[in-house]
A and B are shown apart, each in its own frame.
Chain A
């Protein structure tokens, strides 16, 4: 009887102790755009046959709305999911080797679509994180200091479709193993896309679609930069638009990255042709 009473009291105390074990609540900070001059590159693998890709595109457009020019998105129509539909007006896969160059640089391609790699780094849980992690990863990437800044100027003649890109780089620390990649993108392309409910939208609005790399798809080598050095590259590249591309909707994404010592994108920037 004595033992039974002791056991009962022990159990009561144990239950009370366990009941008193409460965690301190985790605090979710308010969302705010970090101050700084670092921009973030998002390379998204997508395709007209990918039913879930419109959801990925919405997340990217949300980031563009919130972060503005500090996010540089590139939509790569690549692989099986990018094969044109019967209703497609054109093939959004540029067949220019850019998608292959990205997967070759990273050493692997995405498992499923939509997939995005941010600053060509394994951030978050994996190289191609869950779309729910894109925004939080970009937020953290925006907080990083920018080791180099990119200044762009584009000039050209819409009548003969000849354009020239000038690039200036300003390093804030010593940098070597430097490469630069420039890609021509077109937005506001209206064409067919399969939606998440498996219906077909023949007037879907595609944004930031890769039309062609202006440099080598895998990037072009730059000389090392000393801290504080400014490198001017006037007339860096000249290029021509295809007749079916609308220059008013075209932009150029330029980013500086490592290659031999890693794949990290150090800085990104974009400029509209119409500007």
Chain B
């Protein structure tokens, strides 16, 4: 007898339960039966008006062709007392391109609900939970709305304070996927604590050990077996239902020195290696195959700060550490752990144009960041990173320099140069393409006319001979505190100043296909209390958008963007 509950019915019953619970809480609160309770929440809305512009490739999606308007809305409500916390979130997607930038997604429902109970040293929670172990390498359930990542654990968690500064935690559940969940079981536990050694000059340690076990369901295993059946016998591997992942981590503090180190190991099981060769019966070889390997991550972050000077050195080595709720999920779907990115998180438009996505099959990275504050006015920053793969091929190299000069409270100038080498073939999945090498000088000036009026100007230029050639960017932002902010920016694809005949084939082809294109943006932001409204007319070039090392391709955008963020 099949006892599967249709997901629509399941969602409807959960919706009913949550609204009932919320109503009960509100009613009880209103009638004064529970005192000290606090109701809070927030709402976030993005609405886009799509205006077709074939010259920049903003076309051929359902939104540009017929729907015209797409939006996403998240509404949070949280109720908490001394011992109980309950929350829910209503998600609404209408013709949204957030899930798939080249398609349209519409759905609505309870995106999250949870209940948490805290009594003495014990805390138990159930529902859709966000949490992580250590830095998140072996387990991280989190939300990132810019890329519609929401892999909350749908399950239960218990946390107990065994001793002062020592906690043990255990959880079990399944990973959320939109308004449903993947069927793979995920269980985990960790112990972490804090040790203080005053007699050793204030040395402190925060050690931890974590453990995760995942178990594929029958459907997932059948999907994997079906694919393996079609492989040649010598290329088949034997998948296992269970994977075991462990991590040991510690944070050491000693005066100005801080050192975080984590080592994680994953037992051998199947994963999809997009670079592994597969032989067809014809003898031809193609790339991409299911393999079976164990995996490791070693991550360390050492920092030292004293008297206006700070330096940090980060190191990461990753080997076959991809594990998901289903081995055949594409892109950024279904990751159970999160491996920290190693490239600098750049914020300026052109310095952030080429960002290194985390590589799960093989990566070795070093990053050094040094900051020096000379005096009240002058400060300097230099950052260098180098990322290679398991074959020691260069994936990414960056040298970033920055100076800041502040003149009292009147104006501030910031500037520097970025030097970058980016493996376009690996990161963009386009074998044979040469690396993008660029030099980007940039500057930002902030001038305060008065306490309430300010002007901020940015200017950047990218020198490069690869991909789409050279770019120029400028931004003007006028602030009228406390409420208003007006901005205008221009991004121009210069390509090159050299005659067309002198350009390499890539740039010649780009000039013929697209030409030199201008991408303007005009907008206003209004802030009042905890409410923020923004309205922008935007023309944006196609590119890869990254958030925390997780990257995806986004096509060009042309239209109007409205955004509302409010908390209460």
Which residues of A line the B interface, CB within 8 A?
23, 25-26, 28-31, 51-52, 55, 58-59, 61-62, 65-66, 79-80, 86, 108-109, 111, 124-125, 129-133, 135-137, 139-140, 196-199
Chain A residues within 8 Å of B221, by CB: 26
A65 to B281, CA, bound (A): 9
Distance in Å: Cβ of A240 to nearest Cβ of chain B: 31
Chain A residues within 8 Å of B433, by CB: 198
A66 to B288, CA, bound (A): 20
The contact of A196 among B228, B238, B239, B287, by CB within 8 Å, is B287
Flag whether B432 is at the interface (Cβ < 8 A): yes
Known: A79-B60, A108-B104, A124-B226. 15 other contacts (CB 8 A): A26-B239, A28-B229, A30-B233, A31-B229, A58-B282, A61-B282, A62-B280, A80-B57, A111-B100, A125-B326, A130-B328, A132-B227, A136-B223, A136-B227, A136-B229
Chain B residues within 8 Å of A132, by CB: 227, 272, 278, 288-290, 328
Chain B residues within 8 Å of A140, by CB: 226
Distance in Å: Cβ of B53 to nearest Cβ of chain A: 15
The contact of A62 among B100, B281, B326, by CB within 8 Å, is B281
A79 to B61, CA, bound (A): 10
Contact across chains for A55 and B287 when beta carbons are under 8 A apart: yes
List B residues 276-302 near A (Cβ within 8 Å): 278, 280-282, 284, 286-290
A62 to B281, CA, bound (A): 7
Chain A residues within 8 Å of B286, by CB: 55, 58-59, 196
A197 to B287, CA, bound (A): 11
A259 to B281, CA, bound (A): 36
A130 to B280, CA, bound (A): 16
Contact across chains for B432 and A198 when beta carbons are under 8 A apart: yes
List B residues 188-242 near A (Cβ within 8 Å): 221, 223, 225-230, 233, 236, 238-242
Chain A residues within 8 Å of B346, by CB: none
List B residues 321-335 near A (Cβ within 8 Å): 326, 328-330
Flag whether B430 is at the interface (Cβ < 8 A): yes
A129 to B289, CA, bound (A): 14
A12 to B287, CA, bound (A): 45
Contact across chains for A197 and B431 when beta carbons are under 8 A apart: yes
Q: A23-B242, A125-B328, A196-B431 are in contact. Are A58 and B103 (CB under 8 A)?
A: no
Contact across chains for A136 and B230 when beta carbons are under 8 A apart: yes
Chain A residues within 8 Å of B430, by CB: 51, 198
Q: List 9 A-B contacts (CB under 8 A).
A: A26-B241, A108-B62, A108-B100, A125-B326, A130-B330, A136-B226, A137-B226, A140-B226, A198-B425
Contact across chains for B329 and A125 when beta carbons are under 8 A apart: yes
Flag whether B256 is at the interface (Cβ < 8 A): no
Q: A31-B230, A125-B223, A125-B328 are in contact. Are A26 and B282 (CB under 8 A)?
A: no
Distance in Å: Cβ of A91 to nearest Cβ of chain B: 16
A135 to B231, CA, bound (A): 9
A59 to B238, CA, bound (A): 22
A89 to B209, CA, bound (A): 63
Chain B residues within 8 Å of A131, by CB: 288
Flag whether B78 is at the interface (Cβ < 8 A): no
Chain B residues within 8 Å of A129, by CB: 328
Chain B residues within 8 Å of A23, by CB: 240-242
Interface centre among B280, B290, B326 (most CB of A within 10 A): B280
Contact across chains for A66 and B281 when beta carbons are under 8 A apart: yes
Flag whether B429 is at the interface (Cβ < 8 A): yes
A65 to B99, CA, bound (A): 37
List B residues 488-538 near A (Cβ within 8 Å): 509
Chain B residues within 8 Å of A86, by CB: 509
Question: Which label, helix, strand, loop or mixed, suits the secondary structure of the A interface?
Answer: loop
Name the residue on A nearest B509 (C-beta).
Answer: A86
Chain A residues within 8 Å of B100, by CB: 108, 111
Contact across chains for B288 and A197 when beta carbons are under 8 A apart: no
Chain A residues within 8 Å of B230, by CB: 31, 135-136, 139
Name the residue on B nearest A136 (C-beta).
Answer: B226
A62 to B242, CA, bound (A): 32
Contact across chains for B229 and A29 when beta carbons are under 8 A apart: yes
The contact of B280 among A26, A28, A58, by CB within 8 Å, is A58
Distance in Å: Cβ of B385 to nearest Cβ of chain A: 26
Chain B residues within 8 Å of A65, by CB: 281-282
Distance in Å: Cβ of A70 to nearest Cβ of chain B: 15
The contact of B282 among A62, A130, A139, A199, by CB within 8 Å, is A62
A150 to B223, CA, bound (A): 30
Distance in Å: Cβ of A124 to nearest Cβ of chain B: 6
Distance in Å: Cβ of B243 to nearest Cβ of chain A: 11
Distance in Å: Cβ of B49 to nearest Cβ of chain A: 21
Name the residue on B nearest A124 (C-beta).
Answer: B223
Contact across chains for B282 and A28 when beta carbons are under 8 A apart: no
Distance in Å: Cβ of A116 to nearest Cβ of chain B: 14
A137 to B328, CA, bound (A): 13
Q: A130-B330, A197-B431, A199-B432 are in contact. Are A26 and B238 (CB under 8 A)?
A: yes
The contact of A28 among B60, B228, B326, B329, by CB within 8 Å, is B228
A52 to B328, CA, bound (A): 18
Q: A108-B103, A197-B432 are in contact. Are A133 and B238 (CB under 8 A)?
A: no
Flag whether B102 is at the interface (Cβ < 8 A): yes
Distance in Å: Cβ of A12 to nearest Cβ of chain B: 19
Interface centre among B289, B328, B329 (most CB of A within 10 A): B328
Name the residue on A nearest B105 (C-beta).
Answer: A108
Q: A55-B286, A55-B288, A125-B326 are in contact. Are A25 and B227 (CB under 8 A)?
A: no
Chain B residues within 8 Å of A133, by CB: 223, 226-227, 328
The interface bits of chain B over 409-434 (1 if a CB of A lies within 8 angstroms of the residue's CB, else 0) are 00000000000000001000111110
Distance in Å: Cβ of A136 to nearest Cβ of chain B: 3
A199 to B433, CA, bound (A): 9
A204 to B432, CA, bound (A): 18
Contact across chains for B60 and A80 when beta carbons are under 8 A apart: yes
Name the residue on A nearest B288 (C-beta).
Answer: A132
A154 to B339, CA, bound (A): 59
Distance in Å: Cβ of A78 to nearest Cβ of chain B: 10
The contact of B238 among A28, A125, A137, A139, by CB within 8 Å, is A28
Distance in Å: Cβ of A213 to nearest Cβ of chain B: 20
List B residues 2-57 near A (Cβ within 8 Å): 57
Chain B residues within 8 Å of A124, by CB: 223, 226, 328
Distance in Å: Cβ of A123 to nearest Cβ of chain B: 10
Chain B residues within 8 Å of A136, by CB: 223, 226-227, 229-230
Distance in Å: Cβ of B57 to nearest Cβ of chain A: 8
Q: A51-B431, A111-B102, A133-B328 are in contact. Are A25 and B238 (CB under 8 A)?
A: yes
Contact across chains for B431 and A198 when beta carbons are under 8 A apart: yes
Distance in Å: Cβ of A4 to nearest Cβ of chain B: 18
